[in-house]
Amino acid sequence: MPFAATRCITPGIALLALLASLAPPALAADGPGADAAPIRFDAGTARHRNALAGTAAEGIAEGEFVIAKVDFDGDGTDETVVQGRARLWCSEAGCSTMVLKKAGAQSVVLLDANLPKSLGVTRAPVGRYRALVGLDGSGRIAIGDRKDGRMYGRPLVFPLRTER
């Protein structure tokens, strides 16, 4: 009798092992957050504000803001992420955020959107660039929870546009 019980359990364990092997990589043991790295923002300073003068992010830098440097396209040159933190730039939907890429003496806007304060960057590219992602309290890619929002129930992933 014990032998028969063992035979019944073995196919169940085999089925669980098979199902686990078929799980998508985003659901692997490290969880979905393994596909993104958090961005470390620094408080914006007068020096940053001067550097942003004449760019599309100049208005954001007038009040309280944060800034980060990230190489989104792997070319060895960092792009600039600027996020307004003043009340004027933030709402329930997030804070005004821009990603700027240096193009000679000018800057090209790769992203201009209201995004969560806690951001990360995908490890793998989404098109030509790695994408920004909203992170939840545990550092994983957040899922949209605003029922009136277009991202409701979807991962908060924000691809950068390719410059023209």
Which residue spans within 48-93 are E strands per DSSP? 65-70, 79-84, 90-91
- The larger pLDDT score, comparing residue 56 to residue 148, is at 56
pTM score, whole prediction: 0.74
pLDDT for the residue numbered 149: 66
Q: What is the pLDDT of residue 157?
A: 86
Residues 6+ apart with CB under 8 A from 48: 61, 65, 67
pLDDT in tens, 86-127: 888 888 878 999 999 998 888 999 999 999 999 999 988 888
CA distance 152 to 145: 5
